[in-house]
Chains A and B, each alone.
Chain A
Amino acid sequence: MFSKRMLVIVGVFFLVVATIVILFISSNRVPSYGIGRVALYLVAPIQDVVSSSIKVARNTWQAYFMLVSTARQNARLKKELQEANARNSQWHETELANIRLRRLLDFKLSLESPSVAAEVIGMDPSPWYRAVIINKGSNDGVRKGLPVGIPEGIAGQVIDVSAAYAKVMLITDRNSAVDALVQRTRARGIIKGESTSSCVFQYALRKDEVNIGDKVVASGLDGVFPRGMPIGEVSGVVRRAAGIFQEVSVTPYVDFEKIEEVLVLLTPLQDQLVKPQ
């Protein structure tokens, strides 16, 4: 009755009309009476799970990369901190060395005789003797017998010299002796080492007034150490009932445990005394 072509045209027409009707109805927001919400009940949880999983995965991925980069950053920062600490420590050491060397320079300028600064590079291997090795020798004008000091006071005397190094016997060594006097009362005596951190002021007459806290300086009469060069402070006095001398202990101004730089006086006092003649 109808041709096939006619049926297709009618079908398309009905579909177009139906679409228009549906669009018209839906544009008026007619409720779906629960049917439309089935999808929400069934699909949304899955969507939620999948979406959450993707989010977790994405977050994990990002966090992993962030962690990797944070770990790298952490390692870099740690390294930088270590370097900064090392630099800081070096600067601190340089600052301290600067202070010490400035004081040594001031001391050097205050001396009349020429002098050479040296670094202490080794300590005495024996606990019974007190000597240090310095990094200046005969090439720098250092000779046996020259006095050695630091701004705080007398350190010792050169006892052995090679081309580039020298051995200095400290005033705390038992074999050391320095002619000295108490600055306040001019009481004379000899500063002898005890191979401990202190010295004794020997041959101080009993009648001489020596009190704890008195400053002991070099007398210059030994021909080695310049007159007035500080040695130490009286830390103990014992006057026995008998005898002509008193026992006096002296704590040197120089801390021999921490001594790092010294100044070798290149012209000993005896040479200076000979010159004017």
Chain B
Amino acid sequence: MTYVFYTITSLLLIVLQTVILPDLPVLNSVFDLTAMFVIYLGLMRSAREGIPVVLMLGVIMDNLSGAPFMVFTTTYFWLYVGVCWLSRILQVGMRFRLAVIIIAGILLENVIFILAFGGLDALRQMPSTTAGKIVPRLLWALVFGPILILILAHTHRVWDRWVRTVLIRRSDSVGGRAAR
């Protein structure tokens, strides 16, 4: 059932990012929301749950983007691995740790994109463009990233609780029928 949550959340984030946000003048340069979901998975969920979702998300984004195929899948995979690694290394207060991981995650994502985009030549050729793309996204991520991750964690908890209640109710009714 938790995969239903992942599917719904992924679809919501993708639609938000590709359909709704591009129409909003201020928010059209907002950070990659699905990358934030990958960071959430790396931080708070097990690898057994996280890796299939990360790969699925990468493939979907590869299909929607004009990027060469597998760029998103690769980026999300390494982002997930990087976040898992960072979350083990960093032993500081939760808020600070979250901010550092988010910034590092978004930077890592963009570095992989730049490498796929045309190697370091692209970075050298257009440093202002690169900075213009990365800096606003980093700032957005710093402000709204932790909030989004906390919302995702809370929603996931509520979902798990709801699913557990439904399952218990159903098993009770099945048990009652069997006893009769």
Contact = CB atoms under 8 A, between A and B. Distances in A.
Interface string B7-36: 000000010011100100000110010100
Contacts of B17: 125
A124 B18 CA distance: 6
Interface residues of B, number: 27
Most chain B CB neighbours (cut-off 10 Å) among A121, A124, A170, A175: A124
A198 to B, nearest CB: 10
Interface string B60-91: 01011111100010000000000000000000
A194 interface: yes
B29 A196 contact: no
A169 interface: yes
Interface in A178-207: 194-196
A122 B64 contact: yes
A127 B140 CA distance: 14
Give the size category of A's interface with B. 20 to 34
B19 A125 contact: no
Interface of B: 14, 17-19, 22, 28-29, 32, 34, 61, 63-68, 72, 113-114, 116-118, 122, 126, 129, 133, 137
A165 B110 CA distance: 28
Nearest to B113: A128
B70 to A, nearest CB: 13
B66 A122 contact: no
A194 B113 CA distance: 14
Given A123-B22, A125-B32, A126-B72, A196 B129 contact: yes
A194 B66 contact: no
A130 interface: yes
Contacts of B22: 123, 257
B64 A128 contact: no
Given A131-B65, A159-B66, A170-B66, A126 B14 contact: no
Contact of A128 (B28, B61, B133): B133
B137 A173 contact: no
A107 interface: no
Secondary structure class of chain A's binding surface, majority of residues: loop
- 10 A-B pairs with the lowest CB-CB distances in the bound complex, closest first: A131-B66, A129-B66, A122-B18, A123-B22, A129-B67, A128-B113, A169-B66, A127-B133, A126-B65, A128-B117
A194 B129 contact: yes
A174 B61 CA distance: 18
B114 A127 contact: no
A125 B34 contact: yes
Contact of A126 (B28, B29, B63, B67): B67
A109 B133 CA distance: 40
A259 B74 CA distance: 30
A133 B15 CA distance: 12
Nearest to A196: B129
B114 A128 contact: yes
Given A133-B18, A196-B129, A124 B113 contact: no
A108 interface: no
